[in-house]
Amino acid sequence: MLAANRLAPALESLPRVFALSDLKQLLPGEEDQALDVALRWLEAGVIKQVAPPRPVFFKVILGEELDEVDRCRALLRAFPSLVMVAGSVLWRQGLSAQRDTLLECCVSEKELSCNLPGVALRWRPPAWWVAVRQAGGIAGDHHGVAMLTPEMALADAAAFRDVWMPDRDAVDWNQLSTARLSEATQQLLPLRDEGASRTV
């Protein structure tokens, strides 16, 4: 009880999104205790793991949903190299008239469960990151989360077929470059089989 009281202010002093290492810094020299405290908070439901088993958490506050900035921050802390894909990219870059219901991002980890509301994680093979870089397939970021170029987002959706895309009529095709789309498709072509075998 004494220990619980002593640690009670710790949750308030942590940001909405935090990692186990942040908690350890609040309890220097008591790493095991940090683990116990995190478990107690998880059991009480006052925090959740962003993407189990990654050691990154967000505070659950009733009536206060995580906003887009916090969601992106949480995703970045759990997966520093994640990339936004598909219809999520097209909507945020103003190329789609239809909005995504789930923020879709790609990671190379096999474990894809995510406790963040409104977020879906998709798997891509490690070679995908090389292909994307070689094709110049990143166009800026959204609150720090790297976004594919629209052409690369289309090529990726066609190659892996595991993401949501808006209807054809809802996409502004005039803003897309055929040459870049062709290049992006070529880069992702060798990965298509790997993606297919994973989804089967």
Residue ranges binding other proteins (CB under 8 A): 19-21, 35, 38-39, 42-43, 49, 52-56, 80-81, 83, 108, 126-127, 129-130, 132-133, 136-138, 140-141, 146
Q: Helix or strand or coil: residue 18? A: strand
Q: How far is the CB of 147 from other proteins (least distance, A)?
A: 9
SS3 call for 89: helix
Least separation in angstroms between residue 42's CB and other proteins is 5
Residue 132 vs 171, nearer CB to other proteins: 132
For residues 27 and 170, which CB has a smaller minimum distance to other proteins in the complex? Answer: 27
Nearest to 59 by CA among 14, 117, 6: 14
* Least distance to other proteins, CB of residue 56, Å: 8
User: In terms of CB distance, is 125 or 166 closer to other proteins?
Assistant: 125
- Residue pointed to by tokens 């050691």: 55
Q: Rounded to the nearest 5°, which phi and psi values hold at 27?
A: -125, 65
Retrieve residue 92's tokens: 């945020």
Q: Whole-number minimum distance, CB 35 to other proteins, in Å?
A: 6
d(CA 187, CA 196): 16
Q: Tokens 């055929």 label which residue?
A: 178
